[in-house]
Amino acid sequence: MASPREEQDNPYRHVVTPRSLRALRHEEGLLFPLSYEETTALVRAALDEDGAFDDVTTIATVRSDRRAHATLVARQPGVVCGVMLAIEASRQLDESVNVRVDAEDGSRVGGATPVLFLTGKARALLSDERVALNFMQRLSGIATLTRQYVDAIAGTRAKILDTRKTTPGWRRLEKYAVRAGGGTNHRMNLSSCVLIKDNHLAAVEGDVAVAIQRSREHAAPGVKVEVECDRVEQVERALAAGADIILIDNMSLDDMRACVKLVGGRAKIEASGGVTRDRVRAIAETGVDWISVGALTHSAPALDLALDFEP
C-alpha cells in the first residue's frame, strides 16, 4: 500500500484489490465502456486465444508456488489506456494478485514511467503478460496519437473527432481510447445520427433537400442531420435545406474559410479528408468546429510498454 505521502504526491497511486475493477478513479466523462461481464468475457477470449491457461514453457520452468513482483512500464512518453483490461488479465490467472496503479487511463506518462505494480503468482504474471500488453499497447497508442492532435490545435475553437474506422468488435474500446487522449467521439454507429454522403445523394438524383426531408421523417426526434459536401456551392444548398451539420470533405484551406463565412454559425462545420498532424493546426484556424481524423483509430502506432520482472 502506498504511504500517505505518496498518495498526496500522486493521487492516481492506489491499490486495486481482486475483482474490484470499478475501484479505479476516473476523470469526469471518462468511464470504461464495457460492463464487468463484457470485460471478463473479452479478456477470457484473449487468454484462451493465447493458450495462457496451458503455457507449456512457464509450467515446465516455474514452480507453482513461486511468487513474483513485476512492473508494467511505459518505455516512451504517451497517454495510458486499457488499465482495466490488464488488471483483468492478471486477475483471471491469479485471483489473489495485488495491483498498484500509478497511472490511470488518460494519464500522461514519460519514458521509463511505471504504470502498474503487480505482485502474485509468477506463473500467472508470465502467462498473462502478452495479453495485458496487447490490450494496453493498442489502446494507449490511440490515446497518445489523439493527444498529439488535440495538443496541435490547442487554443482554437475546433475539436478533434474520431470516425467509424475502427477494429471490428473493438469500437467502444477504441473510441474510449480517443476520449482518454482528449478527443471527442463522433457517431458510434450508423443508427446514432444521419450522415448523408454523395452515394446517398445519388439515390435521390442529388437533391439534398429531399434527402434531408426523408431523413427527418425517419429519424427519431432530436437526431442531427449531417450532409457531406466537397464544393462550396453544395454547402450553400445543404444549409438552405436545413442541415444541422455540414461535413466539408477534402477542401482547400481557402474553401474551408469560405464555407465558415458562408455558414456563419447557422450549422456546425466538420472538416475531414487529408488531415495530418502537420496540417491540422491550419485546418483548425479556418474556424471549423470539428476535425475528424480516421488515423486516430486505423493507423495509431502501439505505445511501447513492457512488463519488467524483479530478479
Give the active site residues.
Answer: 130, 165, 197, 228, 249
Give the separation between CA 132 and CA 124, rounded to whole angstroms.
12
Helix (H, G, I), strand (E, B) or coil at 69: strand
Q: Which residues are within 8 A (CB) of 37 and not within 5 positions of it... i.e. 6 or more apart?
A: none
Residue 301 DSSP label: P
Phi/psi of residue 229, nearest 5 degrees: -135, 140
Containing H/E element for 148? helix 122-152
d(CA 93, CA 112): 26
- Phi/psi for 203 (5° steps) reads -75, -15
- Residue in 95, 83, 96 with CA at minimum distance from that of residue 13: 83
Distance CA 153, CA 282 (A): 8
Distances (CA, A) of 211 to 94, 227, 232, 246, 286: 56, 9, 18, 14, 28
In whole angstroms, give the CA distance from residue 178 to residue 145: 9
Q: Is 264 left (phi over 0), alpha (psi -120 to 50) or beta?
A: left
Beta pairing class for 78-79 and 108-109: antiparallel
